[in-house]
C-alpha cells in the first residue's frame, strides 16, 4: 500500500520563495524540545546577513594592512601652503568615489521582501471577462506539483476486527464488510477476501451519533450507526446490535478508532477536531 503526497516544487523565482517555508512542517521528536520550532524564511535572511558581515570584515582587514604600510614611511612635507583648486580630472575622480560609497540595496534584500516570502492572500472571486481570463491564463500558469510516494506496510498488530455494515455506492442498501483496525488504517474487505478500501484515521473525526443515522434506520431492525470523517471523505458504518458494536456509547470500535486517530494526529503535530 502506498500513499501519494503532492507538494509544490522548489522555488525557481523570487515570487515563489514562500513555497520553501518549513515553519508549519512537523519534525520528528520536536515535542521533546521545549520552546523549539522549525525556522522559516528568516533562516535565509540570517544566512545572507552573516555572509555580508564576513565579507565586510575581510575588506576591513585588507584595507587595514594597506593603510598600515603608509604609516611606516615618513610623511612628506608640503612644499607650499597655498591651497590649489582641484582640476576637472580630480573632481571627476572624487565624484566616482562618492558614487561607489553610496551603498545600493542588495539584490538579496529585494528577494526577501514580504511579497515574496509570504503566501498569497486569498482574494474575492470575481467573474473575469474574456480578455482578462485569457491574459491570466497566459501569465499565471498553475504551480507544478511534485509527487512524493511513500510505501506503507501493514501494521502487524490488529487492534480490532469484525464484521461491519457499510452502504453501497448508490446508498440503497447495506453491504457486509470485514474490517481490521491496523494503526493508522482501517482496512475493509469484501466477502471474498479482497481488500476494497483502506481509511487513514490520521486527523479524522469520529461521530458516534450522526444526524443521518435517523434516515438509515429500518423497521424491526435496530442498527447502531456511526460516521468517520476523514480528511477528504466521509464513511458510514453500522452494526446490527450493541453486542456487535461493543456496548452503548463509543464502544470497542469507536473507542479504538478514536484513539488511533488521536495518537496519529498528535504525532503529526496537530490534534483532531
Per-residue pLDDT of the chain (273 residues; tens, 9 = 90+): 777 877 766 656 656 666 667 777 767 777 777 777 777 777 878 888 899 899 999 988 888 877 777 666 666 666 655 667 888 888 888 888 887 777 666 666 665 655 555 555 554 444 445 444 444 445 556 667 778 888 888 888 888 888 888 888 877 788 889 988 888 888 999 988 899 988 888 777 888 778 877 777 666 667 788 888 887 888 888 876 555 444 433 367 767 776 666 555 444 444 333
160-267 is classed CATH 2.30.29.30: yes
Listed residue (194, 178, 17, 106) closest to 186, CA to CA: 178
Per-domain residue ranges of the chain: 1-66+102-123+136-152, 160-267
- Exposure of 172 by Cβ count < 10 A (0-12 exposed, 13-18 middle, 19+ buried)? exposed
Alpha-carbon distances of 212 from 136, 206, 233, 264, rounded to whole Å: 43, 14, 15, 27
Amino acid at each position: 500500500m502506498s500513499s501519494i503526497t503532492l507538494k509544490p516544487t522548489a522555488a525557481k523565482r523570487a515570487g515563489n520563495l514562500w513555497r520553501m517555508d518549513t515553519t508549519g512542517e512537523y519534525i520528528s521528536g520536536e515535542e521533546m524540545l521545549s520552546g523549539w520550532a522549525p525556522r522559516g524564511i528568516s533562516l535565509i535572511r540570517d544566512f545572507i546577513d552573516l555572509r555580508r558581515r564576513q565579507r565586510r570584515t575581510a575588506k576591513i582587514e585588507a584595507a587595514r594592512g594597506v593603510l598600515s604600510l603608509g604609516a611606516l614611511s615618513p610623511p612628506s612635507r608640503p612644499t607650499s601652503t597655498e591651497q590649489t583648486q582641484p582640476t576637472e580630472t580630480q573632481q571627476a575622480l572624487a565624484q566616482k568615489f562618492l558614487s561607489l560609497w553610496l551603498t545600493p540595496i542588495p539584490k538579496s534584500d529585494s528577494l526577501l521582501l514580504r511579497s515574496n516570502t509570504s503566501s498569497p492572500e486569498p482574494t474575492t472571486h470575481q467573474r473575469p471577462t474574456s480578455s482578462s481570463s485569457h491574459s491570466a491564463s497566459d501569465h499565471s500558469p498553475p504551480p507544478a506539483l511534485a509527487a512524493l510516494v511513500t510505501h506503507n506496510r501493514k501494521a502487524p498488530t490488529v487492534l480490532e476486527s469484525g464484521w461491519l455494515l457499510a452502504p453501497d455506492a448508490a446508498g440503497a442498501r447495506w453491504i457486509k464488510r470485514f474490517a481490521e483496525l491496523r494503526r493508522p488504517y482501517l482496512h475493509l474487505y469484501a466477502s471474498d477476501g479482497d481488500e476494497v478500501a483502506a481509511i487513514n484515521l490520521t486527523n479524522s473525526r469520529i461521530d458516534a451519533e450522526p444526524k443521518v443515522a435517523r434516515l438509515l434506520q429500518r423497521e424491526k431492525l435496530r442498527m447502531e450507526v456511526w460516521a468517520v470523517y476523514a480528511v477528504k471523505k466521509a464513511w458510514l458504518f453500522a452494526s446490527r446490535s450493541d453486542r456487535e458494536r461493543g456496548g452503548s456509547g463509543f464502544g470497542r470500535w469507536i473507542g479504538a478508532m478514536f484513539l488511533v486517530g488521536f495518537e496519529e494526529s498528535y504525532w503529526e503535530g496537530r490534534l483532531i477536531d
